[in-house]
């Protein structure tokens, strides 16, 4: 059979609400033209994030009912620990309430002022947690990986030569670790090859530097290795994951992504000294080391989710349905970051709306128009999120790209939802010359995308 179907059937549904264009006009005005400030119940199809928005399976719900809520030594924790150890091979498994809590703990115990941490591309919370410790978060993704238009299988790869130069030119005591984000969310959701991971591991370890994964979407990355990298086609996703993690010394993880959980995360480490320090900090701010700010039932649901994410039927459907959206947007003339990533399609607003200069925020304009057109919510990843106003000169500093991310929650929407999104964007594409730019009304001092407000130029 050529048709790839959703490998599940629907047992429970949640209604979504249609609105009229007039209602959406009022909603957008009240929200200051910022999709983050729209109430979720006023959104028809919500593509703001794939984080914490997954549908859990009947088995995960069953695990919730069987969660053990003991303060110390809960049965659910041991299930969680055993599952993560089995997949990653790491010794110390530290639960946290979400990914950024694992990041905060890791950098608090390892990173000091003036340190440098290289990564393919740091996600914004990772960068912020490193910068909070007065260290430098360095993005060293390859040049092709930055280019939305080059079609290559592993555009998440790190520039090994650049990492080599960094290690040659810097005192090694200033590099507490090297990192790799799989898949590379801040740059098109692109995967990293096993060869690149191996090369990074060899390079760091030759200098005695630990190698840590940001593993939020590790299973999607493993599926791309299986289908794109010679030698992996006959291996199971779990075996690929085990090999990948074996090149590192630990990982941070948001279970809100590739564990189908609505909340949760963890830090996994091999180094006992780091793990002991992490557990002390965990107890101070998150909770005892066998729950880390999560309910026992959450730990149990995550353990079950981590098993389901490595099922090949699921991952084939996942990656294929993301590509379906990407391929069809290309067909109707909407330029996207290619090839399609695992969890999202990123529209290239710079190419779609060339008449709007970056300072008039083409990505933000497209997000607002998409909501007005069809009640679809997306997120700008461009000059609003990553640009800034220069504190001294007051000049506008643009972001690297002007992207609009359509993130796909796991197991939530069907192919007809995708067709609806494609039709909405085709309509917008037909009248794209009429779309105007935007300007800040209120500019938040940090993390501008969450709370700033805008108006049409
Ligand atoms: N690392 C990556 C690569 C992420 O994508 C995220 C979250 C985090 C770390 C932080 O995890 O949210 O559990 O604290 N990404 C979400 C997104 C928010 O929409 O891409 P968290």
- List pLDDT tens digits, range 130-169: 999 999 999 999 999 999 999 999 999 999 999 999 999 9
Instruction: Using the mean position of ligand 1's atoms as its centre, give its distance from the Cα of residue 281 in Å.
Output: 21
Q: What is the structure's pLDDT at 108?
A: 97
Q: Is the alpha carbon torsion for 197, 203, 204, 206 positive or negative?
A: positive
Q: Which of 287, 308, 329 is the last residue of a domain?
A: 308
Residue 9 included in any domain: no
Q: What is the structure's pLDDT at 335?
A: 97
Instruction: Using the mean position of ligand 1's atoms as its centre, give its distance from the Cα of residue 120 in Å.
Output: 15
Same domain, 213 and 75: yes
State which ligand 1 atom lies nearest to the alpha carbon of 49: 19
Residue 432 included in any domain: yes
Closest CA relative to residue 251, chosen from 202, 311, 178: 178
User: Does pLDDT of 124 surpass 90?
Assistant: no
Instruction: Using the mean position of ligand 1's atoms as its centre, give its distance from the Cα of residue 167 in Å.
Output: 28
Q: Determine whether the shortest distance from the Cβ of 214 to ligand 1 is under 6 A.
A: yes
Structural domain that includes position 429: 21-50+312-456
Task: Please give the angle made by the CA atoms of 343, 344 and 345, to the nearest 5 degrees.
Answer: 150
Same domain, 375 and 414: yes
Same domain, 330 and 250: no
21-30 helix and 362-374 helix, angle to the nearest 10 degrees:
140
Burial of 391 per CB tally in 10 Å (0-12, 13-18, 19+) = exposed
User: Average pLDDT of 234-261?
Assistant: 98
Which amino acid residue places its CA nearest to atom 18 of ligand 1?
A: 51
Which amino acid residue places its CA nearest to atom 1 of ligand 1?
A: 123
User: Average pLDDT of 250-256?
Assistant: 98
Q: What is the structure's pLDDT at 96?
A: 98
Kindly report whether the peptide bond that precedes residue 183 is cis, defined as omega within 30 degrees of 0.
yes
Residue 283: CB atoms within 10 Å = 12
User: Does pLDDT of 36 surpass 90?
Assistant: yes
User: Average pLDDT of 223-238?
Assistant: 98
State which ligand 1 atom lies nearest to the alpha carbon of 50: 19
User: Average pLDDT of 399-427?
Assistant: 96
Q: Which of 277, 308, 339 is the last residue of a domain?
A: 308
Q: What is the structure's pLDDT at 445?
A: 86
Q: Determine whether the shortest distance from the Cβ of 254 to ligand 1 is under 6 A.
A: yes
Same domain, 72 and 36: no
User: Does pLDDT of 363 surpass 90?
Assistant: yes
State which ligand 1 atom lies nearest to the alpha carbon of 48: 19
Instruction: Using the mean position of ligand 1's atoms as its centre, give its distance from the Cα of residue 301 in Å.
Output: 19
Dihedral, CA of residue 42, residue 47, residue 52 and residue 54, to nearest 10:
100
State which ligand 1 atom lies nearest to the alpha carbon of 184: 3
User: Does pLDDT of 391 surpass 90?
Assistant: no
Instruction: Using the mean position of ligand 1's atoms as its centre, give its distance from the Cα of residue 45 in Å.
Output: 20
Q: What is the structure's pLDDT at 386?
A: 86
Instruction: Using the mean position of ligand 1's atoms as its centre, give its distance from the Cα of residue 128 in Å.
Output: 12
Same domain, 183 and 251: yes
User: Does pLDDT of 187 surpass 90?
Assistant: no
Which amino acid residue places its CA nearest to atom 4 of ligand 1?
A: 123
User: Does pLDDT of 355 surpass 90?
Assistant: yes
- pTM equals 0.96
Same domain, 405 and 326: yes
Task: Please give the angle made by the CA atoms of 310, 312 and 315, to the nearest 5 degrees.
Answer: 80
DSSP 173: G
Same domain, 355 and 326: yes
Same domain, 334 and 300: no
Count how many domains the chain has: 2
User: Does pLDDT of 1 surpass 90?
Assistant: no
> In angstroms, how far is the first alpha carbon of the chain from the final one?
51
Q: Determine whether the shortest distance from the Cβ of 98 to ligand 1 is under 6 A.
A: yes
Residue 326 included in any domain: yes
Instruction: Using the mean position of ligand 1's atoms as its centre, give its distance from the Cα of residue 109 in Å.
Output: 21
Closest CA relative to residue 307, chosen from 63, 4, 137: 63
Domain containing 377 — which CATH number? 3.90.1150.10
User: Does pLDDT of 266 surpass 90?
Assistant: yes
Same domain, 70 and 42: no
Cβ pair 174, 115 in contact under 8 A: yes
Domain containing 190 — which CATH number? 3.40.640.10
What is the average pLDDT score of the chain?
96
Task: Please give the angle made by the CA atoms of 337, 122 and 191, to the nearest 5 degrees.
Answer: 45
Q: Determine whether the shortest distance from the Cβ of 100 to ligand 1 is under 6 A.
A: yes
Q: Determine whether the shortest distance from the Cβ of 216 to ligand 1 is under 6 A.
A: yes
Q: Determine whether the shortest distance from the Cβ of 123 to ligand 1 is under 6 A.
A: yes
User: Average pLDDT of 216-242?
Assistant: 98
User: Does pLDDT of 2 surpass 90?
Assistant: no
Instruction: Using the mean position of ligand 1's atoms as its centre, give its distance from the Cα of residue 49 in Å.
Output: 9
Same domain, 42 and 158: no
52 phi and psi, to 5 degrees?
75, 10
Instruction: Using the mean position of ligand 1's atoms as its centre, give its distance from the Cα of residue 254 in Å.
Output: 6
Residue 15 included in any domain: no
User: Average pLDDT of 312-338?
Assistant: 97
User: Does pLDDT of 258 surpass 90?
Assistant: yes
Instruction: Using the mean position of ligand 1's atoms as its centre, give its distance from the Cα of residue 51 in Å.
Output: 7
Residue 5 included in any domain: no
Give the model's confidence band at 400: pLDDT under 50 very low, under 70 low, under 90 confident, else very high. confident
State which ligand 1 atom lies nearest to the alpha carbon of 98: 13
User: Does pLDDT of 237 surpass 90?
Assistant: yes
Residue 251 included in any domain: yes
Q: Determine whether the shortest distance from the Cβ of 314 to ligand 1 is under 6 A.
A: no
User: Average pLDDT of 348-358?
Assistant: 97
Same domain, 240 and 385: no
Same domain, 163 and 236: yes
User: Average pLDDT of 299-323?
Assistant: 97
Instruction: Using the mean position of ligand 1's atoms as its centre, give its distance from the Cα of residue 364 in Å.
Output: 20
Instruction: Using the mean position of ligand 1's atoms as its centre, give its distance from the Cα of residue 50 in Å.
Output: 9
pLDDT (tens digit per residue) in 94-112: 999 999 999 999 999 999 9
Q: Which of 308, 331, 348 is the last residue of a domain?
A: 308
Q: Is the alpha carbon torsion for 320, 323, 329, 331 positive or negative?
A: negative
Q: Ligand 1 pocket test: which of 98, 100, 189 has the largest number of ligand atoms within 8 Å of its C-beta? A: 100
Q: Determine whether the shortest distance from the Cβ of 185 to ligand 1 is under 6 A.
A: yes
Which amino acid residue places its CA nearest to atom 5 of ligand 1?
A: 185
Which amino acid residue places its CA nearest to atom 2 of ligand 1?
A: 123
Residue 11 included in any domain: no
User: Average pLDDT of 262-269?
Assistant: 98
% residues pLDDT > 70 (the chain):
100
Instruction: Using the mean position of ligand 1's atoms as its centre, give its distance from the Cα of residue 331 in Å.
Output: 30
Q: What is the structure's pLDDT at 446?
A: 79
Residue 345 bridge partners (DSSP): 406
Residue 7 included in any domain: no
Residue 134: CB atoms within 10 Å = 11
């Amino acid at each position: 059979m050529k048709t790839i179907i959703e490998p599940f059937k629907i047992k429970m549904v949640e209604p979504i609400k249609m609105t009229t264009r007039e209602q959406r006009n009022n909603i957008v005005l009240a929200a200051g033209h910022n999709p983050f400030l729209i109430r979720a119940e006023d959104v028809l199809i919500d593509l703001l994030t794939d984080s914490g928005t997954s549908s859990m399976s009947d088995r995960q719900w069953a695990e919730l009912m069987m969660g053990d809520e003991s303060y110390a030594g809960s049965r659910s924790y041991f299930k969680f620990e055993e599952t993560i150890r089995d997949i990653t091979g790491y010794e110390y498994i530290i639960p946290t309430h979400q990914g950024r809590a694992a990041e905060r703990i890791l950098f608090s115990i390892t990173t000091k002022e003036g340190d440098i941490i290289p990564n393919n591309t740091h996600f914004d919370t990772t960068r912020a947690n490193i910068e909070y410790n007065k260290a430098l978060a360095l993005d060293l993704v390859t040049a092709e990986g930055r280019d939305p238009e080059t079609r290559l299988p592993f555009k998440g790869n790190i520039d090994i030569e650049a990492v080599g130069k960094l290690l040659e030119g810097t005192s090694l005591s200033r590099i507490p670790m090297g990192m790799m984000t799989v898949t590379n969310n801040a740059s098109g959701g692109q995967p990293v090859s096993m060869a690149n991971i191996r090369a990074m591991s060899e390079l760091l370890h030759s200098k005695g530097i630990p190698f840590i994964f940001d593993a939020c979407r590790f299973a999607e990355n493993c599926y791309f290795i299986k289908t794109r990298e010679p030698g992996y086609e006959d291996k199971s996703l779990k075996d690929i994951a085990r090999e990948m993690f074996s090149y590192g010394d630990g990982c941070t993880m948001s279970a809100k992504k590739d564990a189908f959980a609505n909340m949760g995360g963890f830090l996994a480490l091999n180094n006992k000294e780091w793990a002991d320090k992490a557990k002390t900090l965990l107890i101070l701010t998150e909770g005892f080391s066998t729950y880390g700010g999560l309910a026992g039932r959450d730990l149990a649901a995550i353990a079950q989710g981590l098993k389901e994410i490595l099922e090949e039927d699921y991952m084939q459907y996942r990656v294929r349905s993301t590509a379906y959206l990407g391929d069809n947007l290309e067909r109707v003339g909407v330029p996207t970051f290619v090839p399609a990533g695992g969890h999202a399609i990123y529209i290239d607003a710079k190419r779609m709306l060339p008449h709007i200069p970056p300072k008039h925020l083409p990505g933000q304009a497209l997000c607002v128009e998409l909501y007005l057109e069809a009640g679809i919510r997306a997120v700008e990843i461009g000059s609003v999120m990553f640009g800034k106003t220069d504190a001294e000169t007051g000049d506008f500093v643009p972001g690297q790209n002007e992207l609009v991310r359509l993130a796909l929650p796991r197991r939530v929407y069907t192919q007809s939802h995708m067709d609806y999104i494609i039709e909405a964007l085709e309509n917008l594409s037909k009248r794209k010359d009429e779309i105007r730019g935007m300007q800040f009304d209120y500019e938040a001092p940090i993390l501008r995308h969450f709370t700033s407000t805008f108006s049409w130029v």
